[in-house]
Amino acid sequence: MIPPQEASARRREIEDKLKQEEETLSFIRDSLEKSDQLTKNMVSILSSFESRLMKLENSIIPVHKQTENLQRLQENVEKTLSCLDHVISYYHVASDTEKIIREGPTGRLEEYLGSMAKIQKAVEYFQDNSPDSPELNKVKLLFERGKEALESEFRSLMTRHSKVVSPVLILDLISGDDDLEAQEDVTLEHLPESVLQDVIRISRWLVEYGRNQDFMNVYYQIRSSQLDRSIKGLKEHFHKSSSSSGVPYSPAIPNKRKDTPTKKPVKRPGTIRKAQNLLKQYSQHGLDGKKGGSNLIPLEGRDDMLDVETDAYIHCVSAFVKLAQSEYRLLADIIPEHHQKKTFDSLIQDALDGLMLEGENIVSAARKAIVRHDFSTVLTVFPILRHLKQTKPEFDQVLQGTAASTKNKLPGLITSMETIGAKALEDFADNIKNDPDKEYNMPKDGTVHELTSNAILFLQQLLDFQETAGAMLASQETSSSATSYSSEFSKRLLSTYICKVLGNLQLNLLSKSKVYEDPALSAIFLHNNYNYILKSLEKSELIQLVAVTQKTAERSYREHIEQQIQTYQRSWLKVTDYIAEKNLPVFQPGVKLRDKERQIIKERFKGFNDGLEELCKIQKAWAIPDTEQRDRIRQAQKTIVKETYGAFLQKFGSVPFTKNPEKYIKYGVEQVGDMINRLFDTSA
């Protein structure tokens, strides 16, 4: 059981808590009542605000809509006024621009194009809005007049400022590729920069607004004429320079004014002059006489004008490439891209056709020269053909995009030159073989025949054109391998050809040598010619080319030379046989000679003296131009004769075979040697 005191305390505690809870509940009830009152007040305020807001909205919205309509009306009025001003301006375009159009674009291109833009817009407006308006015809007429003025200005600018490129500048341009010392590239200014910009502006306007392509024809005609005249001017420059100074020149490029060029020789193509110089060197060393004739026109008599023509043509070809490249760069700035190739094709036709025609004329001249056996003229084809083939890659690049007929012109000319060159080579070989000159114009002194010098000169010329000549021969091959021949194949063909010419020459010389009645003179003739051929082959390095297909050629010529020397030496047997030991009488020393023995000795002395005098007189007029060979043959013959005569004189010089020994013993041993030393010397 809980004690009474604890129970009483517990009850009081519960009663206190209950009283507190009742107070809290009373507080919450009072708060809720206040909250309800506040809510009612707020709802009342909001309801009043909503009512007022609705009244305001009903008043403002009509005002806003009315204002918006007024603003729209104002904008429409402004736009209408603006359109009216714009339309009215089109009616004033003609009067505003007529004076400018009438005066033309010269010196005021920017302003002029601005006026044309206004006229263009007026035309478009009237066409769209008032096609029957008289104003349309007026502005259209003004537009056409303005377009014609621009076309005329384009022509005028191109005509007045397009200048022929001077030969001096062209030669600078050509030599710039090869001159390693050049400090700067040579550039061509076809039009002044300000003029160029005007021309570009006009061309673009004519394409975009003028719908006109006639100016492109004007452009190519003017530039074509300048290109053609520039190349012809270069050719004339060569002729004038060659006639005045003998050598055309090209001015040095770096740090030189164009109007004060420094002369320097133009690089000469490999013409026959080099071979002629070699021939002159051989002449100075006594290797040729060339007194004999031939039906071949002498190469060393070749007119220098051929070299001038050849050089001029070669430089004109290079000039065409450089000038055409420059023309295309200029054209690319002025002519629309899709018209550039066609316009360029038309632009270069006259100059290109001129070059091709001149090339065909060279081929035609070569063809005629072959008929008359003038192979010096034919040789002009070689440097030209070589240059054309070297230049062909640049040609192809320049002509890229042109018509097929344009691209095929150079290959066609190359083919023609290869064909005529191959024919010239074959005909030359045949003429060497069949040269009919056997009885007339043969060298009386047995020196080198002109046929030999011409043949060697021609072959020496081929050294400068080995690839070209080899390609000529290869182009005529019918085998499938010839279509893709290599340089080695061409070299072998050329070696075979040279061996053929030398073989034909040797056969012809053998035939000609039979004209001489004296076998000794025939031997001297063959010796001189063989020796000249061998020395020429060695000095001009032809021997290396011959050795490609004929390894023993040098040894063979040396054997032929020795054989002819031996044949010549046999001519002295009729002299030495008189005093040879085998033909002398045998007698006892101290025993008086019989009349028959004395007579034999007299006959031997007389036969020797007469033979010696006769041979020395005859052979003195013969010639051995090669001093080394001449001294060698003299020395060998002198040794043989002196030894034989010395032995004979020692044996019979003191024998009393005659009362007048001076009548028979006319020469001492040294005198005989001196006489032989004067052989082959017409000046002695």
Q: What is the pLDDT of residue 594?
A: 80
Q: What is the pLDDT of residue 304?
A: 60
DSSP string over 181-212 = T--S-----SS-HHHHHHHHHHHHHHHHTS--
Say how far apart CA 432 and CA 422 lie, in whole Å. Answer: 15
Strand, coil or helix: 104: coil
Phi-psi category of 446—alpha, beta or left, where left has phi over 0 and alpha has psi -120 to 50? left
14 exposed, middle or buried (CB, 10 Å; 0-12, 13-18, 19+)?
A: exposed
Partners of 265 in the beta sheet? 249
- For 265, which DSSP code? B
* Assigned token pair, 657: 């075979």
- For 154, which DSSP code? H
Q: What is the pLDDT of residue 78?
A: 60
* Assigned token pair, 173: 């341009």
**Under 8 Å between Cβ of 676 and 616:** yes
Strand, coil or helix: 656: coil
Q: What is the pLDDT of residue 6?
A: 84
Say how far apart CA 155 and CA 214 lie, in whole Å. Answer: 11
Say how far apart CA 81 and CA 89 lie, in whole Å. Answer: 12
10-residue mean pLDDT series, the chain (684 residues): 79 88 88 88 85 80 77 71 58 80 88 87 82 82 90 93 91 70 64 92 89 87 94 90 55 34 40 46 46 49 66 94 94 92 95 95 92 86 93 94 93 94 92 75 90 91 88 74 66 93 94 92 96 93 91 94 95 89 67 80 90 92 93 94 90 82 89 92 63
- Contact partners, residue 631, CB within 8 Å, separation at least 6: none
> Residue 254 is which amino acid?
P
Integer CA distances (angstroms), 169 to 309, 318, 338, in order: 20, 13, 31
Q: What is the pLDDT of residue 21?
A: 87
Q: What is the pLDDT of residue 317?
A: 95
DSSP string over 512-581 = HHTT-SSHHHHHHHHHHHHHHHHHHHHHTTHHHHHTTT-TTHHHHHHHHHHHHHHHHHGGGHHHHGGG-G
**Under 8 Å between Cβ of 204 and 339:** no
Q: What is the pLDDT of residue 271?
A: 43
**Under 8 Å between Cβ of 579 and 640:** no
Integer CA distances (angstroms), 519 to 445, 446, 511, 513, 568, in order: 13, 11, 13, 9, 7
Strand, coil or helix: 612: helix
Q: What is the pLDDT of residue 52?
A: 81
* Assigned token pair, 653: 């010089």
* Assigned token pair, 268: 């000469």
Say how far apart CA 211 and CA 205 lie, in whole Å. Answer: 9
Strands (E) across 363-411 are located at none
Q: What is the pLDDT of residue 305?
A: 64
Helical (H) or strand (E) element with 592: none
